[in-house]
Structure 1
Amino acid sequence: MADPQPEETRPANGVPDPTRVDNGSEPSTVDAPVRWSGSAAVPAPAPKTPWWRRHQPPQPAPPAEPHDHWATTPAVDPWADQDTPWDSLALDLEGTEAEAATPKPAPPLPPATLDPTRLEQAAPAPPRTRIEPPAAPPAPPPPPVSKPSNRPPVAAPPPPTKNAPKLSRKERKRLKNAPQPTANRLPIQTRPPGPPGPPPGPIVNGRPLPAPPPWAPRQPARPLPPPRRKRRWGRRLALLSLIGVVCCCGLPFAWTQSPAAEQYPVTAALPDSFSDLQLRDTEETGPSGFAGVYRDARGKRVTVFGETGFRLTPGTDVRTRIEQAAADYGLQDVQSFDLGEFGAHERCGAGRDNGTSVVVCTWADHGSLATVLLTRRSITDSAELVARLREEVLSPG
């Protein structure tokens, strides 16, 4: 029975606690309530590492102190210091059934004879699971088969007789290491390798998994766009630069070297006299036009009129003007004549003006166009006279 505990007594309100000693050496027996804090436990500070050891690995922590195992703790008797509530007296107790006198054992029985029984066979063991090894690599190609030789077979050595001389140890060793003659038979041919099997799959739990099926290419859902062409800005820039240089420098140079540069621009001025002809009458036709009438002492007349300006197709202009004159004067036997310059054209034909026979000639170049009417002259003489008149009337500038 446990000892009764004294009841806890508390002083009345306003009465000091007689068991409390202020500023005493013993702490108060009243436990203060534990206040909850949300902060974690702060670990013990680790020793600081010098800056010159900052790149070294941290030192291992010291080994923990060995903990006593529960089996090594000695047993404690909870009743060791307790008084025994009764006296331990030696009591005379009656004997138990186990302590009664046991009868003598009976004699052993003779062994019984039993009929022999049929020994049952052991149950068959379950079939062992066969683990297929990974596929072996393909065998190398078989070596070339040597053709059988046509030599006769080598006879085996005769067996030793009883009266044969004994051989020494060296001779027996030499005969033992000597190569044996090969029999006359074909060598064993290896089986040709079969087709290579699929590569072995991964092994899980000691069993190889089946190889995955071959990958089949999947057609895209829609055709892919054509590849984008690379921009060749460098070549284009170089080509444009070359074209600009040719246009800026080549065209003016070609113009100065072409006959058109000598034919345009030009100015027209009728001379007062030409060959045996004298200027009789002139007519104002504007800043770019000219017209005049020449006569000689025998009454032959030459009438000229024309204009200056740039002409891109002088050959077409000559044909157009001679066709107009042919409609007015009924020209026949129209002929072309060479003026000796590239781009200068001349055509002449014979016709009639108010019953008088006339020759109409027209010249054209890149800078001028004129028509000349001549009386009492042939077509050839008129063409030569018009060519010289052109050189006298036109001047560059």
Structure 2
Amino acid sequence: MSDAHLTERQLVEGPEPVELTDEPITLSTHDPAGGSPPKGPASRRRRIALTVALVVGLAGAAALGTAGWRIAREKDVRLGTPDRVAGLTRDDSDRARSTADYLRSGFAADIELDRSVGTVYSDPADEKRAVLFFGGTTLLWQPERDLDSLFGLMADETGRVTDLRGVPAGRYGGVMKCGRTSGDGGDFAVCGWADHGSVAMGMFANRSVDESADLFRQIRDGVQTRG
């Protein structure tokens, strides 16, 4: 039968069996061995694209999983102001309390916190080396961004923060940075930390940035708890 005489049914259903033997033989365009037709370049490109998408997807899922684990680990934080921490003694005088309340209130106005703290710690070895500490707890999705914003706000209040740089954050992780600024009482080293559950800052009179960074890590170990 010529191509011109193919019926509509034959075009749809394919060739009819040809009775050359006792059993009908169906004509087929498939590989007699049962294999698939050779795959061309388009099929290979699809396979490569799917592989790349799978790898990217797995990498993204791993990153999200790591971030979620870190947030879950850091989000439940408590900050206290113990009587003594890192060799310093809390100053409960009226003047110190007034200064601490002022710093705490200003800090809490700049960032929405669940709870805020503020206090002044004195150095028994030298009354001129006081430390002003203030901070609070809340869920922070981007700790470093929020910490940088607070350093910017501090610069608006006290003057430009110079030589700002990252320093080791200690055993609680997150991000910690230190620099220098000026205030009515003179020059201060200033440090701040932030993680997914807390943010805090300290101002250190008559101390170098490196000394202040080390002392701030010790203070953090004494005032912060998780879980």
TM-score range, shorter chain: 0.5 to 0.7
Aligned to 1:295: 122
Q: What TM-score, normalized by structure 1, do the two folds share?
A: 0.34
- Distance in 1 (alpha carbons) for counterparts of 2:172 and 2:207: 27
Matched, 1:280 2:91: yes
- Distance in 1 (alpha carbons) for counterparts of 2:222 and 2:172: 18
Aligned to 2:206: 376
Out of 140, 148, 156, which is 1:319 matched to?
A: 148
- 3-state SS of 2:91 partner: strand
Question: Residues 341 and 261 from structure 1, CA distance in 2 versus in 1: closer, same or farther, beyond 3 angstroms?
Answer: farther
The structure richer in helix per residue is: 2
The answer to whether the Cα contact below 8 Å between 1:259 and 1:341 also exists between their aligned partners in 2 is: no
Aligned to 1:305: 134
- 3-state SS of 1:259 partner: helix
The answer to whether the Cα contact below 8 Å between 1:259 and 1:342 also exists between their aligned partners in 2 is: no
What is the CA-CA distance between 1:342 and the residue it aligns to? 7.9
Question: Residues 272 and 315 from structure 1, CA distance in 2 versus in 1: closer, same or farther, beyond 3 angstroms?
Answer: same
What is the CA-CA distance between 1:341 and the residue it aligns to? 5.4
Out of 259, 265, 275, which is 2:76 matched to?
A: 265
The 5 A counterparts of 1:202-241 are 215=5
CA-to-aligned-CA distance 1:352-373 (integer Å, 9 cap, x gap): 1125111111110011011111
Question: Residues 304 and 289 from structure 1, CA distance in 2 versus in 1: closer, same or farther, beyond 3 angstroms?
Answer: same
What is the CA-CA distance between 1:260 and the residue it aligns to? 3.0
How many residue pairs align between the two structures?
A: 153
Aligned to 2:12: none
Higher relative contact order (CA 8 A, sep 6+): 2
> Percent identity over the alignment?
25
What is the CA-CA distance between 1:258 and the residue it aligns to? 2.9
- Distance in 2 (alpha carbons) for counterparts of 1:272 and 1:356: 26
Out of 344, 347, 354, which is 2:174 matched to?
A: 344
Range with bigger deviation, 338-347 or 310-319:
338-347
CA-to-aligned-CA distance 1:185-206 (integer Å, 9 cap, x gap): xxxxxxxxxxxxx99xxxxxxx
Question: Residues 316 and 342 from structure 1, CA distance in 2 versus in 1: closer, same or farther, beyond 3 angstroms?
Answer: farther
- Distance in 1 (alpha carbons) for counterparts of 2:212 and 2:187: 13
What 5-or-longer segments of structure 1 have no aligned partner? 1-197, 200-213, 219-249
- Distance in 1 (alpha carbons) for counterparts of 2:130 and 2:172: 30
Decide which structure has the larger Cα Rg and report it.
1
- Distance in 2 (alpha carbons) for counterparts of 1:307 and 1:369: 6
Matched, 1:396 2:226: yes
The answer to whether the Cα contact below 8 Å between 2:117 and 2:134 also exists between their aligned partners in 1 is: yes
